[in-house]
Amino acid sequence: MKKNAILICSLLLFTILPTGCAKKRTEVTITGTVTVAGKPVDSGMIQFIPVNQDSFEGGGIIANGKFTATVPYGELHVRFRGNEYLKKDAQGNPLGGKDETDKDGMRSYTPPPTRQMIPDKYWFGNEATTTVITGKEEFNFDLEAK
């Protein structure tokens, strides 16, 4: 009887202890747009960093001026990197990339030529912030060109 009680108490302790001490990770997936002087960013990335640094960082990919990112709730610094394609077809698709296979079957890819569209201050400084309350807010960022 005493062995069973010790075994049950041990199992409860190892079951309850890990869940009781772990910090709950709350996150939400948000969407939005990124433009520079009204022009959509062709390709890039967006990063969200908690202002009070009490949670994880989040981020996502920018494509054709739109992004989707998983982020924590609260006040966040927002950082951006982004490019525009130098050559595009009539539908706005990039031109100039190469996808090649050499004689040994090795593949290589050269992306289309781009230029940096978002100024460095939006990556290295804390130029932009936002607050995620419900995750259903509109997250549209129109950045300055300089």
**Is residue 52 one of the residues assigned to a domain?**
yes
Cα distances from 131 to residues 50, 72, 77, 139, in angstroms, run 9, 10, 9, 9
Tell me what pLDDT residue 20 has: 47
Q: Both tokens of residue 92? A: 């706005």
Given a cut of 60, is residue 6 above it in pLDDT?
no
Most trustworthy range by pLDDT among 19-28, 80-89, 93-102:
80-89
- What total of structural domains would you count in the chain? 1
Tell me what pLDDT residue 11 has: 46
**Is residue 11 one of the residues assigned to a domain?**
no
66 is in which domain, residue-wise? 25-143
What is the distance between the alpha carbons of residues 27 and 133, in angstroms, rounded to a whole number? 11
Tell me what pLDDT residue 17 has: 47
For range 114-118, the mean pLDDT: 95
Given a cut of 90, is residue 62 above it in pLDDT?
yes
Cα distances from 139 to residues 49, 78, 114, in angstroms, run 15, 11, 25
Tell me what pLDDT residue 2 has: 54
**Is residue 5 one of the residues assigned to a domain?**
no
